[in-house]
Structure 1
Amino acid sequence: MDNVSLKQIAQKFAGSKRLNDFIEYGGVAAAIETIDGNIYTGVSIDTACSMGFCAEHSAVAEMLKHGESQIKSLVAVDEEGNAVPPCGRCRELISQLSKENLKATIEVKNGIIVTLAEILPYDWKEDPGRAW
């Protein structure tokens, strides 16, 4: 699947919705394509007490639920459909799922696609003495 199509899938789920006085969700939506060609999506959850999580985490949970952990490409979008880069927490989670995910492509800004390795420099897991 090309990145434009993956982005369009994510855009279907982007749009902030207020659940109650404490929770909004969907301000960011993400779509992951695995190396097996499956697509998983997720939305952000924002809470009054910072207990929410990112759209990428939500999509990763869906992917893991289906027994997959290797990502081919990922995109997250805001409510206007603009690509947004994953935060540091999401980058780290994705890198820990599989060393192969360092090759995953990520749209970090509209039209700018890089690998996870490029946005996760000096990865602490790359210590030659550390076993995966």
Structure 2
Amino acid sequence: MTAKELIEEAQKILGEYELSSSDYSAGSVAAALLTTNGNVYTGINIDVACGIGFCAEHSAIAEMLKNRETQIEMIVAVSSNSMRPPCGRCRELIFQVDTKNINTKVYLSTEKYITLDELLPNRWEASKAKKN
């Protein structure tokens, strides 16, 4: 699968989903990821009050985990007018789900990507936390 095809998978689910209040939103960001097994999982963001929403990457990762997979080959996140790198919380989640994801390709355009290792140089690691 190419980055362009993965971006198209994310764009298929992008859009505003109706919630209980016009102050809340869902689907303004969509993510798609490709696992090392060749499967694609998608997700949307949810932005509601009290900080209880979550990012599109979290949603796609949850779908992946439901299918007993943990290793991500590449991931994309899109909005209506741009591609977005994962936030710090998403970067940590990608790594903590499987440390091999440090080599995940995070696409910023159809041709340009950066590895999770480059985006997360000073990552939190459980083994290091236990020693402190």
Aligned pairs, number:
130
Work out whether 1:50 is the aligned partner of 2:51.
yes
Q: Secondary structure at the match of 1:124?
A: coil
Give the Å deviation of 1:126: 9.0
- The verdict on how the C-alpha distance between 1:108 and 1:130 changes in structure 2, with shifts beyond 3 A counting, is farther
Separation of aligned partners in 2, 1:24 and 1:129: 36
Who is 2:78 aligned against?
77
Read off the aligned partner of 1:89 and give its amino acid letter.
R
Who is 1:10 aligned against?
10
Q: In the TM superposition, what whole-angstrom CA distance separates every residue of 1:19-57 from its partner, at most 9, and x where no partner exists? A: 121531000000010000000000000102221000000
Work out whether 1:34 is the aligned partner of 2:35.
yes
Q: Secondary structure at the match of 2:63?
A: helix
Q: Secondary structure at the match of 2:5?
A: helix
Q: In the TM superposition, what whole-angstrom CA distance separates every residue of 1:72-127 from its partner, at most 9, and x where no partner exists? A: 000000023x2101000000000001111001100135643011001001223297
Who is 1:19 aligned against?
19
Read off the aligned partner of 2:93 and give its amino acid letter.
L
- The verdict on how the C-alpha distance between 1:78 and 1:51 changes in structure 2, with shifts beyond 3 A counting, is same
Q: In the TM superposition, what whole-angstrom CA distance separates every residue of 1:49-73 from its partner, at most 9, and x where no partner exists? A: 2210000000000000000000000
Kindly indicate whether the alpha-carbon contact (under 8 Å) linking 2:28 and 2:44 is maintained by their aligned counterparts in 1. Answer: yes
Q: Secondary structure at the match of 2:51?
A: coil
Q: TM-score, normalised by structure 2?
A: 0.89
Q: Which runs of 5+ in 1 are unaligned?
A: none
Kindly indicate whether the alpha-carbon contact (under 8 Å) linking 1:83 and 1:110 is maintained by their aligned counterparts in 2. Answer: no
Q: TM-score, normalised by structure 1?
A: 0.89
Read off the aligned partner of 1:74 and give its amino acid letter.
I
Q: How big is the alpha-carbon RMSD for the aligned residues of Structure 1 and Structure 2?
A: 2.1
Separation of aligned partners in 2, 1:13 and 1:130: 40
Who is 1:60 aligned against?
61
> Which is richer in helix?
2
Kindly indicate whether the alpha-carbon contact (under 8 Å) linking 2:94 and 2:101 is maintained by their aligned counterparts in 1. Answer: yes
> Which is richer in strand?
1
